Amino acid sequence: MERFARLAAQALNTVLETPITATDLESPPDPKMGDFGFPCFKLSKIFRKGPPQVAQEITSQLQAAAALEKVGAGMITVAAVGPYVNFTVARDETLKALLGDILAGEGNGSYGSLTARSRGKWVLEYSSPNVAKPFNIYHLRPTALGAALDRIGRFRGYDMVGINHLGDWGTQYGKLAVAFREYGQNLPADPSIEDLVQIYVKFHAEAETNPKLEDEARLAFLKLEQGDAEMTALWKKCVDISMREFERLYARLGVKFDHIWGESYYKDLLPGLLVDLKKRGLLVESEGAQVVEVSDAEGKAMPPCIMQKTDGATIYATRDVAAALYRFEKFSFDRMTYVVGGEQRLHFQQIFAVLRRMGADWVSRCEHVPTGLYRFKDAKMSTRKGNFITLDEVLELSRTKVKELMRAREAQKGEAGLSEAELDTVAEAIGVGAVVFHDLHTDPARDVEFDIDRVVDFEGETGPYLQYAHTRCLSILRKARESGEMPKGELFQAGVVARLEKDEELALVKTLGQFPLHLERTLQFGKASQLAHYLIDVTRVFGGFYRECKVLGEAPELTRARLMLVESTRRVLAQGLSLMGIKLPERM
């Protein structure tokens, strides 16, 4: 469709003084109004006439000059609709162009991708859990969203750098190292994160009566910052124990990073950063600590940003400033996005302000995409102490529930069931997919309302529902092969699109045609919910098509044309879900 938009823009250029490009065109809310519209608001100011009148005049000019025909776009018609000049591409041309694009290539093809040239360097920081703590369900938000943006960014031609900014440095790791030295010998040979939590809690309990422990921990962190060998070895052990568990979860979610650069990665840069800040005269003393005074982009004062505590230790913010400088130096990125919980809004404003004061004008390329929390409907979960629910627990809950549902469905249909091993594989894909989809489908800034029955509902706006729609496409295609109606070789054939005469068929193709647009918007706003809602829309429109249009057993040309629609739908669903990190079972 982009080709047609370019032609429409070219035609506009023959009658207008101001240069127009395809990106100036919008997609009308109702596809019946046209395929793209040129808004006349800006020109209305220049011409000092109402936008509808301007739209009328441009339309008449285009028609009088036969502008579309002249640029070789006789297949496009034009009409003024309110303040817009709307362009409509002839039906057959639309079908041919879109289906041709979607069905090009093997497998899922490459429809929607934009990989010919790099669109710039994009550093994306996401997930970033804290070591020595279980992976909280709440950390799924920046993990699932970041990973989806990372995949979509690559698919759309950005040069992505995905970074996991692991929380692995700070005073608490001094405590942990001391705790490990004191109580580590009682732990199992292969300790888990829970074991680390247990010795950490024990440390705190004993520190109540023995304050010397606290001093020792402070000292331990200072030693750690200075590279002390014993402390470093203890700390490293704790990080390794955590990473082993995190890696297992990341594998389950299909999440991969280019770099796992935790806070500790920047430790050697911290002394230099403090010297630099001092040289620039930006460090001031406040209650014994070294701080930078900051204000927001509009000049409104914010709480000062602490860089060094009274005892000389650096803090979370110091590491973030160092990390940003390092990343810009290394990558000269065009965009840097931090996918991090919304409660850290002020923190990022402060970091950006410190960087601004250091003269880093590129800070305008940095953004924080805030994520919300989890709320549980289930009373048992919502009242749990400290609301501490792990991702592991939620995935297990979902997987078990899916297994139950599937066994119940089998019994209901009276079909031969899956073997236990097959069921396990499918339930893992559906159970994990359901949780991830539910998370991504919620606007990132809002809280996720978690009700397991709704999350795994095969009929709702859920992951399983989309996976099921995909298996339905697969099953139609499979039957077509069995009945010999599937053409050998390439499925696409331009000649048969004229057979697609129903509204539902055109509506489906146009909906599939919006896939690239929704991927682009997902990246623009940092919201995978954009793509999630679009995919739900695809299945809804596909449902409308399938109710109205019989695919198999029609005249061969019609069946072929409709099989082209089924395969196109399958490709868009498969691609869209994979980009969200959701696996596709063959049968459900």
Residues lying near ligand ARG in the complex (CB under 6 A) are found at: 125, 128-130, 165, 167, 320, 338, 340
CB 218 within 8 A of CB 171: yes
Nearer to ligand ARG, 111 or 126 (CB): 126
Of residues 516, 481, 493, 466, the one with CA closest to residue 565: 493
Eight-class DSSP state of 116? S
* Strand bridging mode 374-376 / 76-81: unpaired
Minimum distance, C-beta of residue 351 to ligand ARG, in the bound complex (Å): 8
CB 139 within 8 A of CB 249: no
Nearer to ligand ARG, 322 or 394 (CB): 322
Nearer to ligand ARG, 123 or 432 (CB): 123
Nearer to ligand ARG, 130 or 568 (CB): 130
Minimum distance, C-beta of residue 336 to ligand ARG, in the bound complex (Å): 10
Minimum distance, C-beta of residue 222 to ligand ARG, in the bound complex (Å): 21
Which run of H or of E encompasses 177? helix 171-183
Minimum distance, C-beta of residue 138 to ligand ARG, in the bound complex (Å): 9
Alpha helices in 16-117 (DSSP H): 41-47, 51-64, 67-70, 91-103
Nearer to ligand ARG, 127 or 462 (CB): 127
CB 529 within 8 A of CB 442: yes
Minimum distance, C-beta of residue 363 to ligand ARG, in the bound complex (Å): 14
Nearer to ligand ARG, 7 or 315 (CB): 315
Of residues 356, 452, 358, the one with CA closest to residue 404: 452
CB 324 within 8 A of CB 364: no
Alpha helices in 261-314 (DSSP H): 270-279
Minimum distance, C-beta of residue 391 to ligand ARG, in the bound complex (Å): 13
Overall residue count recorded for the chain in this entry:
588
Measured CA to CA, the distance from residue 340 to residue 351 in angstroms comes to 14
Report the residue closest to ligand ARG, judged by CB. 167
Nearer to ligand ARG, 181 or 309 (CB): 309
Measured CA to CA, the distance from residue 200 to residue 176 in angstroms comes to 6
Measured CA to CA, the distance from residue 171 to residue 225 in angstroms comes to 10
For residue 458, with 0-12 CB atoms within 10 Å meaning exposed, 13-18 middle and 19 or more buried, which class applies?
A: middle
Of residues 64, 95, 62, the one with CA closest to residue 79: 62
Measured CA to CA, the distance from residue 260 to residue 236 in angstroms comes to 14
Minimum distance, C-beta of residue 263 to ligand ARG, in the bound complex (Å): 8
Nearer to ligand ARG, 338 or 545 (CB): 338
Minimum distance, C-beta of residue 324 to ligand ARG, in the bound complex (Å): 8
Minimum distance, C-beta of residue 152 to ligand ARG, in the bound complex (Å): 21
Minimum distance, C-beta of residue 273 to ligand ARG, in the bound complex (Å): 15
Measured CA to CA, the distance from residue 328 to residue 137 in angstroms comes to 31
Nearer to ligand ARG, 340 or 448 (CB): 340
**What strands lie across the sheet with 76-81, from one edge to the other?**
36-39, 84-89, 76-81
CB 312 within 8 A of CB 270: no
Nearer to ligand ARG, 65 or 302 (CB): 302
Q: What's the distance, Cα to Cα, between the start and end of the chain in Å?
A: 34
Minimum distance, C-beta of residue 165 to ligand ARG, in the bound complex (Å): 4
3-state secondary structure of 85: strand
Alpha helices in 210-263 (DSSP H): 212-225, 229-253
Minimum distance, C-beta of residue 533 to ligand ARG, in the bound complex (Å): 27
Region of 495 (left: φ > 0; alpha: ψ -120 to 50; beta: rest) is alpha
Nearer to ligand ARG, 130 or 529 (CB): 130
Paired tokens of 86: 């709307």
Nearer to ligand ARG, 140 or 582 (CB): 140
